[in-house]
Structure 1
Amino acid sequence: MCQSLVLAAVLALVPQGLAVFYRTEFLLMQVDHFSHSSNDTFPLRYLVNDTYWDSNVGPIFFVTGGEETIEFFAENAGFVWEVAAIYKAMIVFAEHRYQGWSKPYGNYAFSSLRFLGYLTVEQTLKDFANLIIHLRSSSSLLSNSPVITMGFGYSGALAAWMKVRYPHLVLGAVASSAPVVQQSTACNEFPRRVSAVFNATSPACAAAISRSWQAINRAANYPRGRDWLSYNWRLCRPLYNPQEVYFLKSWLTAIYVYLALYNYPYPDKVGNPLPANPVQEACKALSSSNVQEDGDLLQALFQTISVYSNTSGLAQCIDTHDIVLLEKATLGANFLACSELVTPLCSLGRDNDFFEAEPFNPTTYSNMCLARWGVQPLFDYVAKTFGSIGAGSSSNIVFTNGLMDPYSSGSILYNVSSSVQAFNIPGGCHHMDFRFSHPEDPWPVVQAREFIKTHISKWLSSVSPIEPRRRRNEI
């Protein structure tokens, strides 16, 4: 059951100061696409821009939403806006169910498994498929428009899986920094690659971070040490108990990941404002030879984390319960991490891995997910559902990855076939190629964008030219 609802015009300013225009629409979508037990519906939100669209020849660039509100993708997928003008394309940004305004059961969405159980990958892909069908049937001008799905991160994985699952609807897919095989990757690969970003910038910095965990533990073992950390690090929540120490170390881990992911060569604000080359900035204090003693090391570490936590220099205190950082933005993403998109993570605490040693225990993880959400994790869901991304009928998929992006550990880094291709970006970080063009872009990022455009042109040339179908009374 699908029905178009609301239309509103919006102007958004992207981080680089450029303007992106879109209108907001909603489509009534079934909560459950795969059974006859419920007729419940919810409004799925999507954004549309047809500024560049030529109804005679233009394709649809369909951006699959992920673990954020859909505006995040509209404002951080600059490449899509730039190539839409080249290909005279219509741009559609589709919000992921249970994100933003697209929540089945509204305020009750996360209240119990009864309402939350419809948050699955397959239900989400079916939402996107139904939206494509709706768009094509809404006007004869769109009925034959080829669709190319696009995305980055988890949304990039969804873009690729749309091509695998609905090849009759999707001509091709562009997946940037897409962790499509993360479940089957060694659990220490992601932390190891985060560490590698810091080590490439400053081996002394990486070594200091590696030593810092024991320095924190030694300080936290005594009341005076906890008081020292609380005061000198200006913590909003003093370290009164082991739980607060745990939050502190989890928060530090999240900061290192964040800095590695968004280590752009220009200032930017994906979440928190960051300076250009933030890892280099963060490592300045820790690269000194004067950080051998615990006190000196922890003082320097505070300066390091301030690159993330206090870029403006105006913060009165720092909150180690930073939910946006620790929870990766949404409850929905955390539910999926406990159900179908489990990402086993562990740290060895050695071999170029500067995190505190922590094993991955499937039983402990399962118990945590059962206690929090009432679900049993499916550790092999992706492999059993989609198999090898390049197997069988998969075709017309491009994977791009920055080799300094930790998520590249779970993506496709090689050509699977003549039509499932990979382009690796030496020194590149998370979905850098999908952002708006910037004067500081490294040459491999520019090449990656040209690689994508070459394949888009190839895909579009493979379909029969769309017959002119513009009518004077149908605009």
Structure 2
Amino acid sequence: MDLRSVCWCVLLSVLLSSYAEARRLFFRGRQFGGMLGSPRRGTNVTINVPDEYFEQQLDHFNPTEARTFQQRYFTNASFHLPGGPVFLMIGGEAAANPAWVLEGQWINYAQKYHALCFMLEHRFYGLSRPTKNIDTKYLRTLSSEQALSDLANFIEAMTIKYELPPNTKWIAFGGSYPGSLAAWLRAKFPHLVEGAVSASAPLLAKADFKEYYRVVKDDLSLYNSSCVSSLREANHGLRTLLKTPMGQETVNIMFRLCDPIDVLISNDVSALYDTLAMNLAGIAQYNNENRQETNEAINLNVVCKVMVNESIGTPVHRYAAITNMILEQSGVMCLDYKYDSLISDLSEVDWESDYAEGARQWFYQTCTEFGFYQTSSLTIDIFGNEFPLDFFVQQCADVFGKMFNKEQLMRGIRRTNINYGAMNQRASRIVYVHGSLDPWHALGITKTLDLQSPAIYIRGTAHCADMFASLPSDPPQLQYARKIIDSLIGLWLVEK
């Protein structure tokens, strides 16, 4: 959970129908913190879960602020027995998906332990709209701290509504940014939350998340030792083509750009390199995610087969072939990479705009709390220094105003790490789960620091793999990880 995830994720399973949709998907991939998608392994499934709302405080840290808003949540009480625990799935940087209260591995745990299940949507995302629009002046109450207090208030409200016994145990669940919130909720409110399952959670706020592409590079190397060298040559070839007008026209055609590249606009050039790199990174982050039919997905194996296939042409031709495969699978006619169009879209403040589901809001959180910008600084040998930290910081200023500069970003990141402890977590009864292929593990806890809060590092799996419902085809290490999580939950529920 990137400036553009943060994880950002290229949601290849979503079919697009317009250039606006292409831009929205593109930003979601680049900006979101490894956003957790739907638990379903199909797209045309009816979900009959009613929306529910409760009254939430607008500002938990201003005692003179009396305003409230309606925060959305979903409930599944079908497994609950009197005296049973409560499981809380935390929403993140997009509209809460009600499918999660019906499916996912946590629902299997809920059936076993007879839990009452809730999913709470994050403030400012989806239909949890505290203000009349998302103008910058209204976003000051959008933060992880406010979100944690929302969760605490929600626990108290549901305890009263369902007349739960005072000794009822709550377990928090979350993946990616919500995984961070789950860990922090247990640490900040141990009297309310008994334990937390924190999946693929970045706990260290960092502006220059250069390690992201190091993991992507390692992932590609695992599949074919020549894949990385071919990618390096492809970017070198792209750089050469961009030096001449004829070469630029070739790039326009090869990569199916919506707008001709103008090398005099440096931000457009950086955006192009960033976009192409993210195509690969999104595939790595969600490689063979078990919520999709993997034979329909473009995975690392497919990418490397293309990148080393000399019959396709030079490495830059192969790089373009990958882009075209993604466009075709997504139903998009061309690649929209333009910097100004992205800034324009992110500057929309109306709730009904394409980006109101979460893109602008999450961008604000990265500019004020987290950073998480996946730069080319560490992999300059492959991508060149084409999308450094300053490229992303400039976007904060261009979208929200000049005061959103590097100094403010660094102050916000420092505050976040001091507030939550970064990698120095000391709370008990938290399990930290990461996949080795997921670049976000570089900002998370992958080695056990405290036996009461173990880390599970799953070799060969990607982002939030443990959260999706188990399948017979799951690798043994993933199946084993879920058994450990199950055992820990059982232990937390019987401990006094």
- TM-score (normalizing by structure 1): 0.83
1:274 is displaced (CA, Å) by 8.2
Q: Which residue of the other structure, out of 271, 278, 302, is the alignment partner of 2:299?
A: 278
Matches of 1:303 and 1:218, distance apart in 2 = 18
Q: Which residue of the other structure, out of 451, 461, 469, is the alignment partner of 2:494?
A: 461
The equivalent of 2:328 in structure 1 is 310
Matches of 1:344 and 1:163, distance apart in 2 = 27
1:419 is displaced (CA, Å) by 0.8
Moved more, 200-209 or 341-350: 341-350
AA aligned to 2:383 is F
The equivalent of 1:92 in structure 2 is 118
SS in 1 for 2:119: strand
Moved more, 169-178 or 376-385: 376-385
Matches of 2:368 and 2:131, distance apart in 1 = 20
Matches of 1:138 and 1:448, distance apart in 2 = 35
1:438 to 1:75, Cα distance in 2 relative to 1, 3 A: farther
The equivalent of 1:127 in structure 2 is 150
Q: Is 1:320–2:353 an aligned residue pair?
A: no
1:427 to 1:219, Cα distance in 2 relative to 1, 3 A: same
Matches of 2:126 and 2:448, distance apart in 1 = 35
- Cα displacement string for residues 308-338 of structure 1 (whole angstroms, at most 9, x for unaligned residues): 22226x5433333596999996111111111
The equivalent of 1:30 in structure 2 is 57
Matches of 2:323 and 2:309, distance apart in 1 = 16
1:303 is displaced (CA, Å) by 1.6
The equivalent of 1:471 in structure 2 is none
AA aligned to 1:318 is L
Matches of 1:416 and 1:207, distance apart in 2 = 37
Matches of 2:429 and 2:368, distance apart in 1 = 29
Matches of 2:423 and 2:196, distance apart in 1 = 12
Unaligned 5+ segments in structure 2 are 1-37, 347-354
1:203 to 1:305, Cα distance in 2 relative to 1, 3 A: farther
AA aligned to 1:211 is E
Matches within 5 A, 1:186-197: 187-197=209-219
- Cα displacement string for residues 83-123 of structure 1 (whole angstroms, at most 9, x for unaligned residues): 111111111111111110112113x22x12x2111111111
**Between structures 1 and 2, the one with greater helix share:** 2
Matches of 2:155 and 2:428, distance apart in 1 = 19
1:349 to 1:380, Cα distance in 2 relative to 1, 3 A: closer
1:390 is displaced (CA, Å) by 5.3
1:359 is displaced (CA, Å) by 7.7
1:426 to 1:455, Cα distance in 2 relative to 1, 3 A: same
Q: Is 1:61–2:51 an aligned residue pair?
A: no
Counterpart contact for 1:190–1:407, Cα < 8 Å: yes
Counterpart contact for 2:91–2:119, Cα < 8 Å: yes
AA aligned to 2:120 is A
Q: How many residues align?
A: 437
Matches of 1:100 and 1:297, distance apart in 2 = 41
Q: Is 1:334–2:363 an aligned residue pair?
A: yes
1:367 is displaced (CA, Å) by 5.9
Counterpart contact for 2:90–2:181, Cα < 8 Å: yes
SS in 2 for 1:137: helix
Matches within 5 A, 1:344-359: 345-348=374-377, 350=379, 354-357=382-385
1:416 to 1:262, Cα distance in 2 relative to 1, 3 A: same
Counterpart contact for 1:405–1:428, Cα < 8 Å: yes
Larger Rg: 1
Q: Is 1:14–2:40 an aligned residue pair?
A: yes
The equivalent of 2:179 in structure 1 is 156
Counterpart contact for 1:266–1:275, Cα < 8 Å: no
Counterpart contact for 2:434–2:441, Cα < 8 Å: yes
Matches within 5 A, 1:168-247: 168-183=191-206, 187-241=209-263, 242=265, 243-247=267-271
Matches of 2:54 and 2:291, distance apart in 1 = 37
Counterpart contact for 1:278–1:307, Cα < 8 Å: no
- Cα displacement string for residues 6-27 of structure 1 (whole angstroms, at most 9, x for unaligned residues): xxxxxx9922588765332111
1:307 to 1:448, Cα distance in 2 relative to 1, 3 A: farther
1:260 to 1:120, Cα distance in 2 relative to 1, 3 A: same
Counterpart contact for 1:323–1:329, Cα < 8 Å: no
Matches of 2:324 and 2:287, distance apart in 1 = 15
Matches of 1:75 and 1:337, distance apart in 2 = 28
1:302 is displaced (CA, Å) by 1.8
The equivalent of 2:284 in structure 1 is 260
The runs of at least 4 consecutive aligned structure 1 residues that moved more than 6 Å come to 17-20, 322-328
Q: Is 1:287–2:308 an aligned residue pair?
A: yes
- TM-score (normalizing by structure 2): 0.80
AA aligned to 1:132 is I
Counterpart contact for 1:77–1:434, Cα < 8 Å: no
Q: Is 1:369–2:369 an aligned residue pair?
A: no
Counterpart contact for 1:28–1:44, Cα < 8 Å: yes
1:267 to 1:161, Cα distance in 2 relative to 1, 3 A: closer
AA aligned to 1:199 is S
Matches of 1:168 and 1:308, distance apart in 2 = 47
Matches of 2:103 and 2:371, distance apart in 1 = 26
Counterpart contact for 1:64–1:150, Cα < 8 Å: yes
The equivalent of 1:47 in structure 2 is 74
The answer to which structure, 1 or 2, has the higher relative contact order (CA under 8 A, 6+ apart) is 2
Q: CA RMSD in A?
A: 3.1
SS in 2 for 1:45: strand
1:279 to 1:73, Cα distance in 2 relative to 1, 3 A: farther
Unaligned 5+ segments in structure 1 are 1-11, 464-475
1:403 is displaced (CA, Å) by 1.1
The equivalent of 2:419 in structure 1 is 385
1:418 is displaced (CA, Å) by 2.0
SS in 1 for 2:329: coil
AA aligned to 2:321 is Q
AA aligned to 2:367 is C
Counterpart contact for 1:210–1:349, Cα < 8 Å: no
Matches of 2:387 and 2:282, distance apart in 1 = 21
